[in-house]
Amino acid sequence: MIDAENFFNLGTDYFSFIGQKCHFEIQKNDNPHFVSKNILTVVSDSDEQLFFSFSGNDGLCLTTEFGSIIHKNILGKFLSLPSNNAKALLEFFENYGYFFKMPPNETNIVDFSHLIQVTYHIKAALLLMNELQNVTINYDEILRLTLFLLLAPPIEMKITEKQTYTGYHDSVFKTLDSVITINDSSDYITIDNEDYYSIPDIIYGKSFNLRVDEYEDISTGEKFMYSYPGIDDSRYRKITVAYKNCHHVSKIQRLLIDFLFHFMNSNGVIKNVSFDLGIEFYGTSNLDLDDKMKKALLIIAKHVLSQEINHHVSRMKPIYNPVTLEPSWKAPNLLTALYFSLFYMKPKSEIYRKCANPSCTNFFLVKTSNSRKKYCCDACRNASNQRDYRSRQKKITKAGG
């Protein structure tokens, strides 16, 4: 009986971990060091444990101590949480434990806005994974998600006095920070009385001519000849200086530099990227990309997605299961387990799809080949059909009157 119930003996579990119940309380913030209006108090309760297992069929599951499933598909439940909703996230934590392992009987406070950002990064990674697998490529969406993972302010969050969580921040930014302006005027060319730097460019496959005047204005912030919104943005300046000077870096770093430079130089300088508001420019902008930039975007999107996941699964520990004599993994905390569920996703065969009912936030697991299933449940399909019917009736009435 126990055997039949035991999840771990089915030979289908890829990894498992033991979490702990915590108690939470949201308070209004009066700490000037915190950005958010809300702070969360986390008190760990070392007595009550939560058991998790991941299987290829059911995803990440909450199980009993002996391995029978209590709740399936916890990543799906997590993705279905409404955006920027503290109450819903807190309820998730009450049911499945906190993202991080907390020392027993210790009270810690955390800035709630950081936690919301962490959830946005997991959602963005999954949505990007889905988009990259779609037959029809939605470049606008891939651009938005990629630039969010790449350019949103890096998360650094204090978990306890001794532990800090840091999100993925691409190593290209270290390169950008370390580039020094080289003021040599030896390598420019002159076309029609204008001076240009001839920059080897891997997106356009040949040299790109960058006007010396424009480069000088961006790199010094002096606006002699050029003045456009965001020209004195410090990130744009670093990217432009790296674009001109920084050629002894890895191919992917160079591609990132080339892409960010061309995008901001011709589409608009980016002020910020957030999950809910998307790309925010200094001035007017457009999202159009030519074929070469589109090709580069897909490579960058895959790089960014893999870095986001790799950053978070690096603390997984391989273990050899003494019962099944099969390989398995041990997750240090729930956050890693959620990312590891993404790591084990097979976007070629199954994806999480957002319910097509606009008023529903649910994500459901579906075979990639199944293009017909658009709603998470019958209720959502009916609600959507009724709304379509009503809007058709309205049109008929209008046309008739």
Q: How far is the CB of 222 from Zn ion (least distance, A)?
A: 54
Shorter beta-carbon distance to Zn ion: residue 240 or 362:
362
The per-residue b/e assignment along 384-395, b for 16 or more CB within 10 angstroms, e otherwise, is: beeeeeeeeeee
**Binding Zn ion by CB under 5 A: which of 210, 360, 363, 384?**
360
Q: Specify the stretch interacting with Zn ion by CB under 5 A; choose among 12-20, 53-61, 254-262, 373-381.
A: 373-381
Give the DSSP per-residue string, 109-167.
EEEHHHHHHHHHHHHHHHHHHHHHH-SS--HHHHHHHHHHHHHSPPPEEE-SSS-EEE-
Q: How far is the CB of 331 from Zn ion (least distance, A)?
A: 29
Q: How far is the CB of 386 from Zn ion (least distance, A)?
A: 14
Q: How far is the CB of 80 from Zn ion (least distance, A)?
A: 9
**Binding Zn ion by CB under 5 A: which of 76, 270, 376, 384?**
376
Q: What is the largest CA-CA distance in the chain?
A: 87
Shorter beta-carbon distance to Zn ion: residue 307 or 362:
362
Shorter beta-carbon distance to Zn ion: residue 189 or 377:
377
- Look up residue 321 and give its two tokens: 């299961």
| φ/ψ bin of 83: left (φ > 0), alpha (ψ from -120 to 50), beta (otherwise) | beta
Shorter beta-carbon distance to Zn ion: residue 75 or 159:
75
- Annotate each residue in 270-299 with x if it binds Zn ion (CB under 5 A) or - if it does not, as one string: ------------------------------
The answer to whether residue 357 forms part of the interface with Zn ion (CB under 5 A) is yes
- Closest-CA residue to 159 (of 126, 203, 110): 110
Q: How far is the CB of 249 from Zn ion (least distance, A)?
A: 45
Q: Specify the stretch interacting with Zn ion by CB under 5 A; choose among 46-54, 264-272, 300-308, 379-387.
A: 379-387
Q: How far is the CB of 358 from Zn ion (least distance, A)?
A: 10
The answer to whether residue 362 forms part of the interface with Zn ion (CB under 5 A) is yes
The answer to whether residue 355 forms part of the interface with Zn ion (CB under 5 A) is yes
Taking a C-beta distance cutoff of 8 angstroms, is the pair 43, 373 a contact?
Answer: no
Shorter beta-carbon distance to Zn ion: residue 302 or 374:
374
Phi and psi torsions of 332, nearest 5° = -75, -25
- Closest-CA residue to 50 (of 79, 26, 16): 16
Taking a C-beta distance cutoff of 8 angstroms, is the pair 176, 258 a contact?
Answer: no
Shorter beta-carbon distance to Zn ion: residue 77 or 303:
77
Q: Specify the stretch interacting with Zn ion by CB under 5 A; choose among 222-230, 275-283, 317-325, 350-358.
A: 350-358
Phi and psi torsions of 101, nearest 5° = -80, 130
Q: How far is the CB of 73 from Zn ion (least distance, A)?
A: 14
- Look up residue 74 and give its two tokens: 């916890």
- Closest-CA residue to 242 (of 201, 297, 191): 201
Beta bridge partners of 354: 363
Size of the site for Zn ion (CB under 5 A): 6
The answer to whether residue 110 forms part of the interface with Zn ion (CB under 5 A) is no
The answer to whether residue 335 forms part of the interface with Zn ion (CB under 5 A) is no
Positive or negative, the CA dihedral 187, 192, 194, 198 is negative
Shorter beta-carbon distance to Zn ion: residue 130 or 357:
357
How far is residue 59's CA from residue 79's CA, in Å, rounded to a whole number?
13
Residues near Zn ion (CB under 5 A) are 355, 357, 360, 362, 376, 380
